[in-house]
Chain A
Amino acid sequence: MAPDVKTAQPAGGVAALPPAGAAERGSFGRFLRWDTLVGLLLVLVFIGGSASSPGFASIDNLSFALGDLGEIALIALAMTMLVVAAEVDLSVASVLGLSSALVGALWDAGWAIETIIPLVVVIGAACGLVNGLLVTRLGLPSLAVTIGTLALYRGLAYVVLGDRAIAEFPQQYTSLAVDDIPGTPIPYPVALFILLAIITAVVLHATGFGRSLFAIGAQEEAALFAGIRVKRVKLILFVLSGTVAAFAGVVFTLRYGSARADNGMGLELAVIAAVLLGGVDFDGGRGTLGGVIAGVLLIGLLRNLLMLNDVSTEIQSIVTGLLLIISVITPRLVAVIGQRRRRPSPVPSPAPPAS
Chain B
Amino acid sequence: MTAVTAGRSPRNVVDLVFRARELSIVVALAALVAVTAGVNGNFLSEQGLKDIFLNASILVLLAVGQSVVVITRNIDLSVGSVVGLVAFTVGDFLAADHSRGIVFAVVLGVALGALCGLVNGLLVSFGRVPALVVTLGTLYVIQGVDHYIAHGRQINAVDLPPALLSLGNGSVLGIPYLPLIAVVVMFAVGYYLRSYASGRDFYAIGSSPEAASLAGVSVRRRVMAAYLFSGALAGLAGVLWLSRFGTVVADAANGWELQVVSAVVVGGVAITGGVGTVYGAALGALLLTTITSALVVLKVSPFWQQAITGALLLLAISVDRLLALRVARVLRRRNSRHGS
A interface, CB within 8 angstroms of B: 3-6, 13-14, 19, 88, 134, 138-141, 143-145, 147-156, 158-159, 162-163, 261, 269, 272-273, 276, 282-283, 312-318, 320-322, 324-325, 328-329, 332-333, 347-354
Contact = CB atoms under 8 A, between A and B. Distances in A.
A348 B220 contact: yes
A332 B124 CA distance: 12
Contacts, number: 195
A283 B130 contact: yes
A332 to B, nearest CB: 6
B156 interface: no
B27 interface: no
Most buried by A among B144, B205, B305: B144
A321 B139 contact: yes
Contacts of A154: 306-307, 310
A317 B128 contact: no
A47 to B, nearest CB: 26
Given A276-B133, A282-B130, A350-B205, 4 more contacts: A145-B317, A150-B310, A314-B145, A347-B213
B136 A140 contact: no
30 contacts: A3-B210, A6-B209, A138-B321, A141-B272, A144-B317, A147-B265, A151-B262, A151-B309, A151-B313, A152-B310, A152-B313, A154-B306, A155-B309, A158-B306, A159-B301, A282-B132, A317-B143, A318-B140, A321-B139, A321-B141, A322-B137, A324-B136, A325-B123, A325-B137, A333-B127, A352-B73, A353-B74, A353-B75, A353-B132, A354-B132
Nearest to A88: B132
B303 to A, nearest CB: 4
B208 A324 contact: no
Interface residues of B, number: 58
A312 to B, nearest CB: 8
B307 A158 contact: yes
Interface string B61-96: 000000000001111000000000000000000000
A269 B314 contact: no
Contacts of B72: 350
A155 B223 contact: no
A153 B310 contact: yes
Most buried by A among B131, B223, B304, B307: B307
A353 B262 CA distance: 16
Contacts of A354: 130, 132
Which of B137, B145, B272 is packed against the most chain A CB atoms within 10 Å? Answer: B137
B36 interface: no
Shortest Cβ-Cβ A-B pairs, 10 listed: A155-B307, A152-B310, A151-B310, A155-B306, A321-B140, A318-B144, A314-B147, A321-B141, A324-B137, A148-B313
A328 B134 contact: yes
B16 interface: no
Contacts of B272: 13-14, 141, 352
Contacts of A153: 310
B138 interface: yes
A321 B116 CA distance: 14
A350 B128 contact: yes
Interface in B322-338: 322
Given A140-B317, A144-B271, A320-B140, A159 B307 contact: yes
B103 interface: no
Contacts of B148: 312, 314-315, 318
Contact of A140 (B75, B123, B143, B321): B321
B158 interface: no
A148 B133 contact: no
A348 B143 CA distance: 31
A325 B132 contact: no
Contact of B307 (A152, A162, A325): A152
Residue of A163, A324, A351 with highest tally of chain B CB at under 10 A: A351
Contacts of B205: 350
A350 B133 contact: no
B292 to A, nearest CB: 13
Contact of A349 (B140, B144, B209, B309): B209
Contacts of B134: 325, 328
B277 interface: no
Interface string B175-214: 0000000000000000000000000000001001110011
Contact of A134 (B74, B145, B318): B318
A159 B304 CA distance: 6
B273 interface: yes
Contacts of A148: 262, 310-311, 313-314, 317
A140 B318 contact: yes
B126 to A, nearest CB: 8
A348 B304 CA distance: 45
B303 A159 contact: yes
Contacts of A329: 123, 127, 129
A163 B145 CA distance: 28
Contact of A352 (B265, B273, B308, B318): B273
B261 interface: yes
A59 B321 CA distance: 53
Contacts of A312: 147-148
A158 B295 CA distance: 15
Contacts of B138: 321, 325
B127 A332 contact: yes
Central interface residue in A13, A322, A349, by most chain B CB within 10 Å: A349
Nearest to A19: B128
B219 interface: yes
B129 to A, nearest CB: 4
Contacts of A149: 310, 314
Nearest to B209: A349
Given A4-B210, A350-B209, A147 B313 contact: yes
Contacts of A13: 272
A3 B123 CA distance: 19
B303 A155 contact: yes
B269 to A, nearest CB: 11
